[in-house]
Amino acid sequence: MSNIYTANPANIKKAAEIIRSGHLVAFPTETVYGLGANVYDAKAVASIFAAKERPSFNPLISHIAEIDFLSEYVETDSRAIELARHFWPGPFTMVLKRKEHTSSIDLACAGLPTATVRMPNHPVALNLIRSSGVPIVAPSANRSQTISPTTAQHVADSLGNRVDMILDGGPCSVGVESTIVDVTGKNVVLLRAGGIALEDIEAFLNEKVLVSHGEADRPSSPGQMLKHYAPKHRFQINVLHPEKGVFYIGFGNQQNTDLNLSPCGDLKEAAANLFAYMRIADEMSGDKGIAIAPIPEQGLGLAINDRIRRASYEK
């Protein structure tokens, strides 16, 4: 049975209920089809990585439907608001500093202090976001390292029943991903070329936009640093037998843990808990620091291991 549904008001309402219940909906934007989940539901966000077989927790773009919501979600200034008013709705994404109270979006933001946000220029996407009542986090609705989908059938061919519902809004008009710029510093930095030209951004700002080439030792994009997502205390990984006094985060059927990412060994559950448990461990650990059990290097385990290796990195 097909999970493709015409994007009429009744089906958009049904899709919004699916988003609110913690499941996945693929929906059209002007760029490509997105695989959407409630940004505040870490387990739903983890399901995106599992469905896409995405190898690491790259920060995901949060989609909003009202410019006024930006100030609730992230730190804004006059430059960010002016860019939003000029380029939104449209294929233009901004990296902005998160508000201090937004720890619930840790997984969507890959544990970084920034959030990546845009307002899509598509009536189905905007109606879905408004009906859901939450920002919808959504990468492209295809398996990782395959061609991005620009029709509902592309999504079905790539993801099948990994997505609960596919809203068919016809072919995407732009067909390439959005332009991403970092506006957290003095200079605006282009992180990814996309549907809005660099020259158009420079013309609007009347200033030069820097271009990032993603060097690990000079990071300008989320996830490029060798040491990232790091707690304040010493953090050991792949530990089966922690020394006494260490705050221990376990995985699977382990005894004597302070926290367990997933007692039943569910990598999706572990991914959803990872950043929250690291925060708790950092608050509760003492001089001995934190240790975490080995995580299988498969499926979402690749992403979890990527993040904990960065968190434990020492020069």
267: helix, coil or strand? helix
Helix axes 300-312, 42-52, angle to 10 degrees: 110
Q: Both tokens of residue 147?
A: 């061609």
Average pLDDT, 10 consecutive residues per value, the chain (315 residues): 93 98 97 95 94 81 94 92 97 92 85 92 98 95 84 94 97 84 93 87 94 55 52 92 96 95 93 86 91 90 82 77
Give the C-alpha separation, 101 to 47, whole Å: 24
Helices then strands, each counted (H, E), the chain: 9, 15
- Which positions ≥6 away from 170 have C-beta within 8 Å? 28, 151
Report cis status (omega within 30 of 0) of the bond before 89: yes
Q: Do 145 and 278 share a domain, yes or no? A: no
Indicate whether 220 belongs to any domain: no
Are residue 114 and residue 241 in the same domain, yes or no?
no
Same domain, 247 and 108: no
Q: What's residue 213's pLDDT?
A: 60
Cα distance between residue 236 and residue 216, in whole Å: 22
The CATH number for 48's domain is 3.90.870.10
Q: Please state the domain count of the chain.
A: 2
Residues 249 and 295 in one domain: yes
3-state secondary structure of 29: coil
Domain boundary residue among 176, 211, 246? Answer: 211
223 domain residue, yes or no: no
User: Which pLDDT score, from 0 to 100, does residue 315 have?
Assistant: 60
Q: Is 98 within the bounds of a domain?
A: yes
113 lies in the same domain as 181: yes
Q: Give yes or no: residues 179 and 35 share one domain.
A: yes
Q: Is 152 part of any domain?
A: yes
- 138 and 264, same domain (yes or no): no
Q: Which residues contact 49 (CB under 8 A, 6 or more apart)?
A: 57, 271, 300, 303
The predicted pLDDT at position 219 comes to 41
Residues 153, 67 share a domain: yes
DSSP 3-state assignment of 195?
coil
Domain boundary among 211, 226, 246: 211
Domain that holds residue 200: 4-211
Query: What confidence score (pLDDT) does residue 217 get?
Result: 45
Answer whether residue 70 is part of any domain. yes
**Interatomic CA distance for residues 302 and 54, integer angstroms:** 9
Query: Does any domain span residue 197?
Result: yes
Using only C-alpha atoms, the chain has a radius of gyration, in whole angstroms, of 20
Quick check: is 178 in a domain? yes
| Same domain, residue pair 156 and 283 | no
Are 302 and 159 contained in the same domain? no
Same domain, 207 and 243: no
Q: What is 95-143 written as a DSSP string?
A: EEEBPTT-GGGTTTTTT-SEEEEE--S-HHHHHHHHHHTS-EE--BSS-
227 located within any domain: no
Same domain assignment for residues 123 and 183:
yes
CATH of the domain at 288: 3.40.50.11030
Cβ atoms of 100 and 78 closer than 8 Å: no
Can you give the pLDDT at residue 224? Answer: 46
